Amino acid sequence: MASDDVKLIGAWASPYVMRPRIALNLKGVEYEFLEEKFGSKSELLLKSNPVYKKIPVLLHGGKPICESLIIVQYIDEAWSGHSILPSDPYHRAVARFWGHYIDDKWFPALTGISRAPTDEAKKEAIEQVFAGLKFLEEVLEKSGAGKPFFGGDTIGYIDIALGCNLGWLRATEKLSGLTYLDESKTPLLVCWAEKFSAHEAVKCVMPETDKLVEFAQMLKAKFSAPPSK
Amino acid sequence: MGEKGVKLFGTWASPFSLRVELALKLKGVEYEFMDEDLQNKSQELLHYNPITKKIPVLVHNGKPLAESTVIVEYVDEAWPNGYRIMPQDPFEKAQARFWAHFIEDKCLKAVFPVYTSTGEELNKAVKEAQETLKALEKALEGKKFFGGETIGYLDIVAGWMPYLIRMTEELAGVTVVDAGTLPLLNAWFDDFLDVDVVKSSLPPKDKLYAFNRARREKLQSGQKAH
Protein backbone atom coordinates (compact mmCIF):
# COMPACT_ATOMS: atom_id res chain seq x y z
CA MET A 1 0.00 0.00 0.00
CA ALA A 2 1.36 3.43 -0.89
CA SER A 3 2.29 5.96 1.73
CA ASP A 4 -0.47 6.89 4.17
CA ASP A 5 0.04 10.52 3.28
CA VAL A 6 -3.42 11.87 2.43
CA LYS A 7 -4.12 15.41 1.31
CA LEU A 8 -7.30 16.97 -0.04
CA ILE A 9 -7.27 20.18 -2.07
CA GLY A 10 -10.58 22.00 -1.67
CA ALA A 11 -12.57 24.98 -0.45
CA TRP A 12 -15.12 25.44 2.33
CA ALA A 13 -18.05 26.44 0.15
CA SER A 14 -17.80 23.70 -2.45
CA PRO A 15 -20.41 20.92 -2.26
CA TYR A 16 -18.14 18.70 -4.36
CA VAL A 17 -15.30 19.05 -1.87
CA MET A 18 -17.64 17.94 0.92
CA ARG A 19 -18.06 14.57 -0.71
CA PRO A 20 -14.54 13.17 -0.26
CA ARG A 21 -14.35 14.83 3.19
CA ILE A 22 -17.42 12.91 4.33
CA ALA A 23 -16.02 9.70 2.80
CA LEU A 24 -12.66 10.13 4.56
CA ASN A 25 -14.45 10.87 7.84
CA LEU A 26 -16.58 7.74 7.48
CA LYS A 27 -13.45 5.67 6.96
CA GLY A 28 -11.68 7.37 9.86
CA VAL A 29 -8.83 8.46 7.60
CA GLU A 30 -6.71 11.40 8.73
CA TYR A 31 -5.93 13.93 6.04
CA GLU A 32 -4.49 17.36 5.50
CA PHE A 33 -6.99 19.84 4.07
CA LEU A 34 -5.40 22.30 1.70
CA GLU A 35 -7.78 25.20 1.30
CA GLU A 36 -7.67 27.02 -2.02
CA LYS A 37 -7.92 30.80 -1.88
CA PHE A 38 -11.00 32.09 -3.69
CA GLY A 39 -10.08 33.73 -6.97
CA SER A 40 -6.76 31.96 -7.52
CA LYS A 41 -5.54 28.43 -8.14
CA SER A 42 -2.49 27.03 -6.40
CA GLU A 43 0.49 25.52 -8.23
CA LEU A 44 -0.30 22.20 -6.59
CA LEU A 45 -3.87 22.24 -7.89
CA LEU A 46 -2.80 23.11 -11.42
CA LYS A 47 -0.17 20.39 -11.33
CA SER A 48 -2.48 17.76 -9.82
CA ASN A 49 -5.48 18.43 -12.06
CA PRO A 50 -4.11 19.85 -15.30
CA VAL A 51 -7.14 18.73 -17.31
CA TYR A 52 -9.86 20.52 -15.33
CA LYS A 53 -7.90 22.63 -12.83
CA LYS A 54 -10.77 22.11 -10.38
CA ILE A 55 -11.27 21.05 -6.79
CA PRO A 56 -11.57 18.61 -5.11
CA VAL A 57 -8.34 16.71 -5.73
CA LEU A 58 -7.28 13.88 -3.44
CA LEU A 59 -3.56 13.25 -3.16
CA HIS A 60 -2.80 9.79 -1.82
CA GLY A 61 0.90 9.12 -1.45
CA GLY A 62 1.36 11.99 -3.89
CA LYS A 63 -0.88 10.44 -6.58
CA PRO A 64 -3.79 12.67 -7.63
CA ILE A 65 -7.38 11.53 -7.99
CA CYS A 66 -9.91 13.98 -9.46
CA GLU A 67 -13.71 14.29 -9.79
CA SER A 68 -15.63 14.14 -6.52
CA LEU A 69 -17.66 10.96 -7.02
CA ILE A 70 -14.65 9.19 -8.51
CA ILE A 71 -12.68 10.20 -5.41
CA VAL A 72 -15.47 8.86 -3.17
CA GLN A 73 -15.36 5.50 -4.97
CA TYR A 74 -11.58 5.45 -4.70
CA ILE A 75 -11.76 6.13 -0.96
CA ASP A 76 -14.27 3.30 -0.59
CA GLU A 77 -11.97 0.90 -2.43
CA ALA A 78 -8.61 2.00 -1.00
CA TRP A 79 -9.61 1.89 2.67
CA SER A 80 -11.50 -0.79 4.57
CA GLY A 81 -14.04 -0.08 7.27
CA HIS A 82 -17.38 1.62 6.64
CA SER A 83 -18.73 0.55 3.25
CA ILE A 84 -19.88 3.52 1.20
CA LEU A 85 -21.15 1.66 -1.84
CA PRO A 86 -23.45 -1.35 -1.43
CA SER A 87 -21.86 -4.79 -1.74
CA ASP A 88 -24.37 -6.10 -4.28
CA PRO A 89 -23.46 -5.23 -7.93
CA TYR A 90 -27.02 -4.22 -8.86
CA HIS A 91 -27.45 -1.86 -5.93
CA ARG A 92 -23.99 -0.48 -6.59
CA ALA A 93 -24.99 0.27 -10.16
CA VAL A 94 -28.23 1.91 -9.02
CA ALA A 95 -26.23 4.10 -6.61
CA ARG A 96 -23.84 5.10 -9.40
CA PHE A 97 -26.80 5.88 -11.66
CA TRP A 98 -28.22 8.30 -9.10
CA GLY A 99 -24.79 9.90 -8.69
CA HIS A 100 -24.80 10.61 -12.43
CA TYR A 101 -28.39 11.84 -12.36
CA ILE A 102 -27.70 14.23 -9.48
CA ASP A 103 -24.62 15.68 -11.20
CA ASP A 104 -25.74 15.62 -14.84
CA LYS A 105 -29.42 16.54 -14.49
CA TRP A 106 -30.54 17.62 -11.04
CA PHE A 107 -27.78 19.98 -9.88
CA PRO A 108 -27.52 21.79 -13.26
CA ALA A 109 -31.29 22.35 -13.06
CA LEU A 110 -30.87 23.83 -9.55
CA THR A 111 -28.11 26.22 -10.57
CA GLY A 112 -29.99 26.84 -13.82
CA ILE A 113 -32.86 28.48 -11.96
CA SER A 114 -30.98 31.67 -11.15
CA ARG A 115 -29.26 31.62 -14.56
CA ALA A 116 -32.43 31.10 -16.59
CA PRO A 117 -32.68 33.74 -19.34
CA THR A 118 -36.48 33.60 -19.59
CA ASP A 119 -39.39 32.95 -17.25
CA GLU A 120 -40.22 29.87 -19.28
CA ALA A 121 -36.71 28.46 -18.82
CA LYS A 122 -36.85 29.30 -15.11
CA LYS A 123 -40.16 27.48 -14.72
CA GLU A 124 -38.74 24.44 -16.51
CA ALA A 125 -35.65 24.36 -14.31
CA ILE A 126 -37.75 24.60 -11.14
CA GLU A 127 -39.98 21.78 -12.38
CA GLN A 128 -36.95 19.61 -13.05
CA VAL A 129 -35.62 20.24 -9.53
CA PHE A 130 -38.93 19.18 -8.00
CA ALA A 131 -39.24 16.19 -10.33
CA GLY A 132 -35.77 15.05 -9.32
CA LEU A 133 -36.58 15.38 -5.63
CA LYS A 134 -39.73 13.35 -6.16
CA PHE A 135 -37.71 10.56 -7.84
CA LEU A 136 -35.24 10.61 -4.98
CA GLU A 137 -38.05 10.50 -2.42
CA GLU A 138 -39.25 7.29 -4.12
CA VAL A 139 -35.74 5.84 -4.06
CA LEU A 140 -35.48 6.59 -0.34
CA GLU A 141 -38.87 5.05 0.26
CA LYS A 142 -38.02 1.85 -1.64
CA SER A 143 -34.49 1.33 -0.37
CA GLY A 144 -35.26 2.73 3.05
CA ALA A 145 -38.04 0.57 4.44
CA GLY A 146 -38.09 2.97 7.35
CA LYS A 147 -34.33 3.44 7.40
CA PRO A 148 -32.97 6.96 7.85
CA PHE A 149 -30.50 7.01 4.93
CA PHE A 150 -30.31 5.94 1.28
CA GLY A 151 -27.53 3.64 2.49
CA GLY A 152 -29.84 2.12 5.10
CA ASP A 153 -28.82 2.54 8.74
CA THR A 154 -25.65 4.35 7.70
CA ILE A 155 -24.63 6.97 5.17
CA GLY A 156 -23.90 5.62 1.70
CA TYR A 157 -23.01 6.83 -1.77
CA ILE A 158 -26.34 8.40 -2.71
CA ASP A 159 -26.54 10.15 0.67
CA ILE A 160 -23.13 11.71 0.00
CA ALA A 161 -23.89 12.57 -3.65
CA LEU A 162 -27.14 14.33 -2.78
CA GLY A 163 -26.45 15.52 0.75
CA CYS A 164 -23.45 17.63 -0.15
CA ASN A 165 -25.87 19.98 -1.96
CA LEU A 166 -27.98 20.69 1.13
CA GLY A 167 -26.00 23.77 2.13
CA TRP A 168 -26.56 25.43 -1.25
CA LEU A 169 -30.12 24.17 -1.43
CA ARG A 170 -30.94 25.93 1.84
CA ALA A 171 -29.04 29.05 0.74
CA THR A 172 -31.01 29.07 -2.53
CA GLU A 173 -34.26 28.73 -0.56
CA LYS A 174 -33.31 31.76 1.50
CA LEU A 175 -32.31 33.80 -1.52
CA SER A 176 -35.29 32.88 -3.70
CA GLY A 177 -38.05 32.42 -1.13
CA LEU A 178 -38.94 29.06 -2.70
CA THR A 179 -39.00 25.93 -0.54
CA TYR A 180 -37.49 22.92 -2.29
CA LEU A 181 -37.49 20.45 0.59
CA ASP A 182 -41.17 20.59 1.33
CA GLU A 183 -42.66 18.31 3.98
CA SER A 184 -45.94 18.10 2.08
CA LYS A 185 -44.16 16.95 -1.10
CA THR A 186 -41.12 14.96 0.04
CA PRO A 187 -41.50 14.20 3.75
CA LEU A 188 -38.88 11.45 3.82
CA LEU A 189 -36.27 13.73 2.25
CA VAL A 190 -36.98 16.48 4.79
CA CYS A 191 -36.35 14.02 7.60
CA TRP A 192 -33.32 12.62 5.82
CA ALA A 193 -31.83 16.09 5.31
CA GLU A 194 -31.89 16.76 9.03
CA LYS A 195 -30.34 13.43 9.96
CA PHE A 196 -27.69 13.70 7.27
CA SER A 197 -26.67 17.22 8.29
CA ALA A 198 -26.41 16.15 11.93
CA HIS A 199 -24.27 13.09 11.23
CA GLU A 200 -20.83 12.97 12.83
CA ALA A 201 -19.05 12.66 9.51
CA VAL A 202 -20.99 15.51 7.95
CA LYS A 203 -21.69 18.29 10.43
CA CYS A 204 -18.07 19.41 10.70
CA VAL A 205 -17.77 19.90 6.95
CA MET A 206 -21.24 21.24 6.08
CA PRO A 207 -20.94 24.99 5.44
CA GLU A 208 -23.35 27.26 7.33
CA THR A 209 -26.29 28.40 5.25
CA ASP A 210 -25.86 32.07 6.23
CA LYS A 211 -22.21 32.02 5.21
CA LEU A 212 -23.22 30.57 1.83
CA VAL A 213 -25.89 33.25 1.38
CA GLU A 214 -23.25 35.90 2.10
CA PHE A 215 -20.86 34.22 -0.33
CA ALA A 216 -23.52 34.04 -3.06
CA GLN A 217 -24.34 37.72 -2.60
CA MET A 218 -20.66 38.57 -2.84
CA LEU A 219 -20.34 36.53 -6.04
CA LYS A 220 -23.40 38.19 -7.53
CA ALA A 221 -22.09 41.67 -6.77
CA LYS A 222 -18.70 40.81 -8.17
CA PHE A 223 -19.94 39.29 -11.42
CA SER A 224 -23.15 41.10 -12.13
CA ALA A 225 -23.25 42.99 -15.42
CA PRO A 226 -25.43 46.06 -15.89
CA PRO A 227 -29.03 44.93 -16.43
CA SER A 228 -30.03 44.38 -20.05
CA LYS A 229 -33.46 43.56 -21.44
CA MET B 1 -40.61 -11.40 -10.60
CA GLY B 2 -40.14 -14.54 -12.62
CA GLU B 3 -38.44 -12.71 -15.48
CA LYS B 4 -35.06 -14.24 -16.29
CA GLY B 5 -32.32 -13.40 -18.74
CA VAL B 6 -30.75 -10.27 -20.17
CA LYS B 7 -32.46 -7.68 -22.34
CA LEU B 8 -30.75 -4.65 -23.81
CA PHE B 9 -32.76 -1.68 -25.07
CA GLY B 10 -30.76 0.31 -27.62
CA THR B 11 -30.62 1.30 -31.25
CA TRP B 12 -28.62 -0.09 -34.15
CA ALA B 13 -26.84 3.27 -34.56
CA SER B 14 -26.25 4.20 -30.93
CA PRO B 15 -22.64 4.21 -29.75
CA PHE B 16 -24.00 4.13 -26.18
CA SER B 17 -25.85 0.84 -26.50
CA LEU B 18 -22.83 -0.44 -28.45
CA ARG B 19 -20.74 0.02 -25.28
CA VAL B 20 -23.01 -2.35 -23.42
CA GLU B 21 -23.03 -4.86 -26.30
CA LEU B 22 -19.23 -4.93 -26.30
CA ALA B 23 -19.17 -5.57 -22.56
CA LEU B 24 -21.77 -8.36 -22.77
CA LYS B 25 -20.01 -10.02 -25.69
CA LEU B 26 -16.62 -9.88 -23.96
CA LYS B 27 -18.22 -11.71 -21.03
CA GLY B 28 -19.93 -14.20 -23.33
CA VAL B 29 -23.35 -13.22 -22.00
CA GLU B 30 -26.40 -14.01 -24.15
CA TYR B 31 -28.85 -11.15 -24.46
CA GLU B 32 -31.92 -10.05 -26.36
CA PHE B 33 -31.45 -6.77 -28.22
CA MET B 34 -34.52 -4.53 -28.36
CA ASP B 35 -33.97 -2.08 -31.22
CA GLU B 36 -35.87 1.06 -30.26
CA ASP B 37 -37.35 3.73 -32.50
CA LEU B 38 -36.32 6.87 -30.59
CA GLN B 39 -39.15 8.89 -32.18
CA ASN B 40 -41.61 6.33 -30.87
CA LYS B 41 -40.23 4.76 -27.70
CA SER B 42 -41.72 1.46 -26.56
CA GLN B 43 -43.88 1.20 -23.46
CA GLU B 44 -41.41 -1.33 -22.14
CA LEU B 45 -38.49 1.10 -22.34
CA LEU B 46 -40.46 3.86 -20.65
CA HIS B 47 -41.52 1.41 -17.95
CA TYR B 48 -37.92 0.37 -17.27
CA ASN B 49 -36.46 3.87 -17.43
CA PRO B 50 -39.08 6.42 -16.40
CA ILE B 51 -36.34 8.72 -15.06
CA THR B 52 -34.40 9.69 -18.18
CA LYS B 53 -36.40 7.65 -20.74
CA LYS B 54 -33.16 7.05 -22.65
CA ILE B 55 -31.34 4.08 -24.08
CA PRO B 56 -29.37 2.04 -23.33
CA VAL B 57 -31.25 0.21 -20.62
CA LEU B 58 -30.11 -3.21 -19.46
CA VAL B 59 -32.66 -5.45 -17.81
CA HIS B 60 -31.10 -8.35 -15.93
CA ASN B 61 -33.57 -10.83 -14.47
CA GLY B 62 -36.21 -8.11 -14.53
CA LYS B 63 -34.06 -5.47 -12.84
CA PRO B 64 -33.36 -2.39 -14.99
CA LEU B 65 -30.26 -0.22 -15.20
CA ALA B 66 -29.59 2.93 -17.21
CA GLU B 67 -26.50 5.03 -18.08
CA SER B 68 -24.08 3.22 -20.38
CA THR B 69 -20.88 3.69 -18.35
CA VAL B 70 -22.69 2.50 -15.21
CA ILE B 71 -24.03 -0.52 -17.07
CA VAL B 72 -20.56 -1.47 -18.35
CA GLU B 73 -19.19 -1.49 -14.78
CA TYR B 74 -22.20 -3.51 -13.70
CA VAL B 75 -21.61 -6.12 -16.42
CA ASP B 76 -18.05 -6.51 -15.19
CA GLU B 77 -19.19 -7.01 -11.59
CA ALA B 78 -22.28 -9.14 -12.25
CA TRP B 79 -20.29 -11.63 -14.31
CA PRO B 80 -17.04 -11.61 -12.34
CA ASN B 81 -15.50 -14.66 -14.01
CA GLY B 82 -14.06 -14.45 -17.46
CA TYR B 83 -12.92 -11.30 -19.21
CA ARG B 84 -11.76 -8.44 -16.97
CA ILE B 85 -13.19 -5.10 -18.06
CA MET B 86 -12.26 -2.80 -15.15
CA PRO B 87 -8.69 -2.44 -13.86
CA GLN B 88 -8.08 -4.17 -10.53
CA ASP B 89 -6.09 -1.50 -8.73
CA PRO B 90 -8.19 1.30 -7.13
CA PHE B 91 -5.93 4.05 -8.48
CA GLU B 92 -6.02 2.57 -12.01
CA LYS B 93 -9.81 2.32 -11.70
CA ALA B 94 -10.02 5.96 -10.66
CA GLN B 95 -7.90 6.94 -13.67
CA ALA B 96 -10.11 4.96 -16.05
CA ARG B 97 -13.27 6.49 -14.57
CA PHE B 98 -11.74 9.97 -14.78
CA TRP B 99 -10.96 9.64 -18.49
CA ALA B 100 -14.38 8.12 -19.12
CA HIS B 101 -15.88 11.21 -17.48
CA PHE B 102 -13.64 13.43 -19.64
CA ILE B 103 -14.80 11.62 -22.77
CA GLU B 104 -18.48 12.06 -21.84
CA ASP B 105 -18.01 15.62 -20.64
CA LYS B 106 -15.69 17.08 -23.28
CA CYS B 107 -14.92 14.81 -26.23
CA LEU B 108 -18.46 14.29 -27.52
CA LYS B 109 -19.09 18.03 -27.37
CA ALA B 110 -15.78 18.73 -29.11
CA VAL B 111 -16.43 16.39 -32.04
CA PHE B 112 -20.07 17.29 -32.70
CA PRO B 113 -19.27 20.73 -34.20
CA VAL B 114 -16.94 18.99 -36.69
CA TYR B 115 -19.95 16.91 -37.71
CA THR B 116 -22.27 19.90 -38.16
CA SER B 117 -20.07 22.81 -39.29
CA THR B 118 -18.93 24.01 -42.69
CA GLY B 119 -16.33 26.48 -43.97
CA GLU B 120 -14.34 28.55 -41.49
CA GLU B 121 -16.45 27.24 -38.60
CA LEU B 122 -15.42 23.72 -39.57
CA ASN B 123 -11.69 24.55 -39.55
CA LYS B 124 -12.06 26.09 -36.11
CA ALA B 125 -14.03 23.04 -34.90
CA VAL B 126 -11.33 20.65 -36.13
CA LYS B 127 -8.60 22.54 -34.25
CA GLU B 128 -10.64 22.63 -31.04
CA ALA B 129 -11.45 18.92 -31.33
CA GLN B 130 -7.77 18.12 -31.77
CA GLU B 131 -6.87 20.15 -28.69
CA THR B 132 -9.44 18.29 -26.59
CA LEU B 133 -8.43 14.86 -27.91
CA LYS B 134 -4.76 15.60 -27.28
CA ALA B 135 -5.41 15.51 -23.52
CA LEU B 136 -6.81 12.00 -23.84
CA GLU B 137 -3.56 10.71 -25.34
CA LYS B 138 -2.06 10.87 -21.85
CA ALA B 139 -4.11 7.78 -20.99
CA LEU B 140 -2.58 5.84 -23.89
CA GLU B 141 1.08 6.54 -23.18
CA GLY B 142 3.14 3.35 -23.26
CA LYS B 143 0.12 1.20 -24.01
CA LYS B 144 -1.51 -0.43 -27.04
CA PHE B 145 -5.02 -0.03 -25.62
CA PHE B 146 -6.34 2.16 -22.78
CA GLY B 147 -6.75 -1.15 -20.93
CA GLY B 148 -3.16 -2.25 -21.62
CA GLU B 149 -2.56 -5.31 -23.76
CA THR B 150 -6.27 -5.94 -24.25
CA ILE B 151 -9.32 -3.66 -24.42
CA GLY B 152 -10.95 -2.62 -21.17
CA TYR B 153 -13.45 -0.17 -19.73
CA LEU B 154 -11.93 2.98 -21.19
CA ASP B 155 -11.52 1.45 -24.65
CA ILE B 156 -15.21 0.56 -24.53
CA VAL B 157 -16.22 4.05 -23.42
CA ALA B 158 -13.99 5.66 -26.08
CA GLY B 159 -15.11 3.08 -28.65
CA TRP B 160 -17.36 5.48 -30.58
CA MET B 161 -14.35 7.54 -31.64
CA PRO B 162 -12.58 5.27 -34.10
CA TYR B 163 -15.60 4.66 -36.30
CA LEU B 164 -17.60 7.85 -35.76
CA ILE B 165 -14.67 10.26 -36.04
CA ARG B 166 -13.46 8.50 -39.19
CA MET B 167 -16.99 8.74 -40.56
CA THR B 168 -17.22 12.43 -39.62
CA GLU B 169 -13.87 13.07 -41.32
CA GLU B 170 -15.17 11.48 -44.51
CA LEU B 171 -18.53 13.26 -44.49
CA ALA B 172 -17.04 16.67 -43.64
CA GLY B 173 -13.95 16.25 -45.82
CA VAL B 174 -11.45 16.96 -43.03
CA THR B 175 -8.79 15.16 -41.03
CA VAL B 176 -9.01 15.27 -37.26
CA VAL B 177 -6.93 12.31 -36.13
CA ASP B 178 -3.80 11.22 -37.99
CA ALA B 179 -0.24 10.14 -37.31
CA GLY B 180 0.96 13.75 -37.41
CA THR B 181 -1.58 15.39 -35.10
CA LEU B 182 -2.60 12.63 -32.69
CA PRO B 183 -0.24 9.67 -33.21
CA LEU B 184 -1.24 7.65 -30.15
CA LEU B 185 -4.95 8.00 -30.79
CA ASN B 186 -4.42 7.32 -34.49
CA ALA B 187 -2.68 4.02 -33.75
CA TRP B 188 -5.33 3.13 -31.17
CA PHE B 189 -8.10 3.75 -33.72
CA ASP B 190 -6.59 1.09 -35.99
CA ASP B 191 -5.88 -1.37 -33.17
CA PHE B 192 -9.35 -1.00 -31.70
CA LEU B 193 -11.11 -1.49 -35.02
CA ASP B 194 -9.06 -4.64 -35.52
CA VAL B 195 -10.37 -6.33 -32.37
CA ASP B 196 -12.71 -9.20 -33.28
CA VAL B 197 -15.55 -8.34 -30.93
CA VAL B 198 -15.50 -4.75 -32.21
CA LYS B 199 -15.52 -5.82 -35.86
CA SER B 200 -18.53 -8.04 -35.28
CA SER B 201 -20.44 -5.41 -33.33
CA LEU B 202 -20.11 -2.19 -35.33
CA PRO B 203 -23.23 -0.97 -37.11
CA PRO B 204 -23.23 -1.72 -40.88
CA LYS B 205 -21.06 0.95 -42.55
CA ASP B 206 -23.32 1.74 -45.53
CA LYS B 207 -26.40 2.08 -43.37
CA LEU B 208 -24.54 4.23 -40.82
CA TYR B 209 -23.06 6.56 -43.43
CA ALA B 210 -26.37 6.95 -45.27
CA PHE B 211 -28.17 7.71 -42.00
CA ASN B 212 -25.55 10.26 -40.95
CA ARG B 213 -25.27 11.85 -44.39
CA ALA B 214 -29.00 12.56 -44.25
CA ARG B 215 -28.90 13.71 -40.62
CA ARG B 216 -25.99 16.03 -41.26
CA GLU B 217 -27.70 17.62 -44.24
CA LYS B 218 -30.83 18.18 -42.18
CA LEU B 219 -28.86 19.79 -39.34
CA GLN B 220 -26.90 22.03 -41.72
CA SER B 221 -29.96 23.17 -43.65
CA GLY B 222 -31.57 23.90 -40.31
CA GLN B 223 -28.57 26.08 -39.40
CA LYS B 224 -28.67 27.97 -42.71
CA ALA B 225 -32.31 28.80 -42.07
CA HIS B 226 -31.26 30.97 -39.09
Of A51, A67, A97, the CB nearest to B66: A97
Q: Please check whether residue B194 lies inside any domain of the structure.
A: yes
Q: Is B51 on the interface with A (CB under 8 A)?
A: yes
Together in a domain, B137 and B182 = yes
CB within 8 Å of B140: residues ≥ 6 apart: B146, B184, B185, B188
Together in a domain, B134 and B175 = yes
The verdict on a CB contact (< 8 Å) between A74 and B98 is no
Instruction: Please name the residues between 58 and 77 in chain B that touch chain A, using a CB distance below 8 Å.
Output: 60, 63, 65-67, 69-71, 73-74, 77
The verdict on a CB contact (< 8 Å) between A97 and B67 is yes
- Give me the domain span that covers residue B201: 90-225
CB < 8 Å to B60, chain A: 90
Together in a domain, B108 and B215 = yes
Together in a domain, B55 and B105 = no
ipTM over 0.85: yes
Together in a domain, B152 and B214 = yes
CB < 8 Å to B135, chain A: 51
Together in a domain, B47 and B140 = no
Together in a domain, B52 and B158 = no
Q: What is the count of structural domains for chain B? A: 2
Q: Is B207 on the interface with A (CB under 8 A)?
A: no
The verdict on a CB contact (< 8 Å) between B60 and A73 is no
CA A79, CA A113: separation in Å to the nearest integer? 38
CB < 8 Å to A96, chain B: 67, 70, 73
Q: How far is B65 from chain A (nearest CA, A)?
A: 7
Residue A157 burial class via C-beta count within 10 angstroms: exposed 0-12, middle 13-18, buried 19 and up: buried
CB < 8 Å to B67, chain A: 96-97, 100
Q: Please check whether residue B19 lies inside any domain of the structure.
A: yes
Q: pLDDT (tens digit, 0 to 9) for every residue of chain A, 229 residues total?
A: 445 799 999 999 999 999 999 999 999 999 999 999 988 999 999 999 999 999 999 999 999 999 999 999 999 999 999 999 999 999 999 999 999 999 999 999 988 887 888 999 989 999 999 999 999 999 999 876 789 999 999 999 999 999 999 999 999 898 888 899 999 999 999 999 999 999 999 999 999 999 999 998 888 888 765 554 4
The verdict on a CB contact (< 8 Å) between A135 and B70 is no
Q: Please check whether residue B83 lies inside any domain of the structure.
A: no
The verdict on a CB contact (< 8 Å) between A78 and B101 is no
CA B117, CA B107: separation in Å to the nearest integer? 16
pLDDT digits (tens, 9 = 90+) for A91-143: 999 999 999 999 999 999 988 887 888 999 989 999 999 999 999 999 999 87
Beta-bridge partners for A172: none
pLDDT digits (tens, 9 = 90+) for B160-176: 999 999 999 999 999 99
Together in a domain, B21 and B95 = no
| Cα A31 from chain centre | 19
**Domain end among B29, B52, B78:** B78
Together in a domain, B27 and B130 = no
CB < 8 Å to A135, chain B: 51
The verdict on a CB contact (< 8 Å) between A77 and B66 is no
CATH of the domain at B19: 3.40.30.10
Q: Please check whether residue B46 lies inside any domain of the structure.
A: yes
CA A61 to each of CA B17, B166, B197: distance values in angstroms, whole numbers, following the listed order: 38, 40, 38
| Global pTM exceeds 0.90 | yes
Nearest chain A residue to B137 by CA distance is A51
